Amino acid sequence: MTGRNSSVRLIYAYEDRNDLEVLSEKGYGTTVGIRPENREPAGRNLVRYECSPIGKPSLFFFRKYVGTDLDGLSSLLADKKTLCVGIGNPQGIDSLKVSIVSKDGFTYSASIRIPEQVAAVKIPLYSLTGSPTWLVPAQYPEFLRKEFVPDRYPPFNVLKTDTVMLSTCGKAKKPFSFELSGIWLE
């Protein structure tokens, strides 16, 4: 990130580790396999996420807190217009929801189709719409609501970005997987 035209990386694949916290709606009853892979050409890292609900179907969430990473970058963030997701090679799933959670706790999302090969899916920030904010892991006691739905959503403001999240579009009933190279703003 050296100039105004630079992209701002939010999530990216490493050779040796996962950059995302993976949760399920219930916090139990699921298995998740995470395989970082370094592919040629050099530096084309991917992370393969392999998820299996156990017992009942479950929503899955893949998230990263980025608030402190973005502190001091308001001049770079102010002109960003597009959220990009490097994703592909799906099995057992064809779409995911991409969300940005604001520092105020409001969630703005768009659903994307996962391409067959890893490619950048571009989402104009103006197309993000307000959606429920899931409270995961589930709080105790379990009878409390698991999502927050406000009466109204303030306009989306990229400067208030706090958390970036991918989630399943509905409850997963069978095993699924996909590869992620990163998420960034342009």
Asked if the 8-185 domain carries CATH number 3.90.79.10, the reply is no
Determine the pLDDT at residue 50.
85
pLDDT (tens digit, 9 = 90+) per residue, 32-74? 666 666 555 545 688 888 888 877 788 888 889 999 889 889 9
Reported confidence tier of residue 140, pLDDT bands at 50, 70, 90: low
% of the chain residues with pLDDT over 90? 41
Determine the pLDDT at residue 34.
64
Region 8-16: mean pLDDT is: 76
pLDDT (tens digit, 9 = 90+) per residue, 87-117? 999 999 999 999 999 999 999 999 999 999 9
pTM (two decimals): 0.85
Spell out the SS3 assignment of the chain: CCCCCCCEEEEECCCCCCCCEEEECCCCCEEEEEEEEEECCCCEEEEEEEEEECCCCECEEEEEECHHHHCCCHHHHCCCCEEEEEEEEEECCCEEEEEEEECCCCEEEEEEECCCCCEEEEEEHHHCEEECEECCCCCCCCCCCCEECCCCCCCCCHHHEEEEEEEECCCECCCEEEEEEEEEEC
Determine the pLDDT at residue 84.
96
Determine the pLDDT at residue 100.
95
Is 81's pLDDT higher than 90? yes
Determine the pLDDT at residue 1.
42
% of the chain residues with pLDDT over 70? 77
pLDDT (tens digit, 9 = 90+) per residue, 145-159? 677 778 889 999 999
Domain positions in the chain are 8-185
Average pLDDT over the chain, rounded to whole?
A: 83
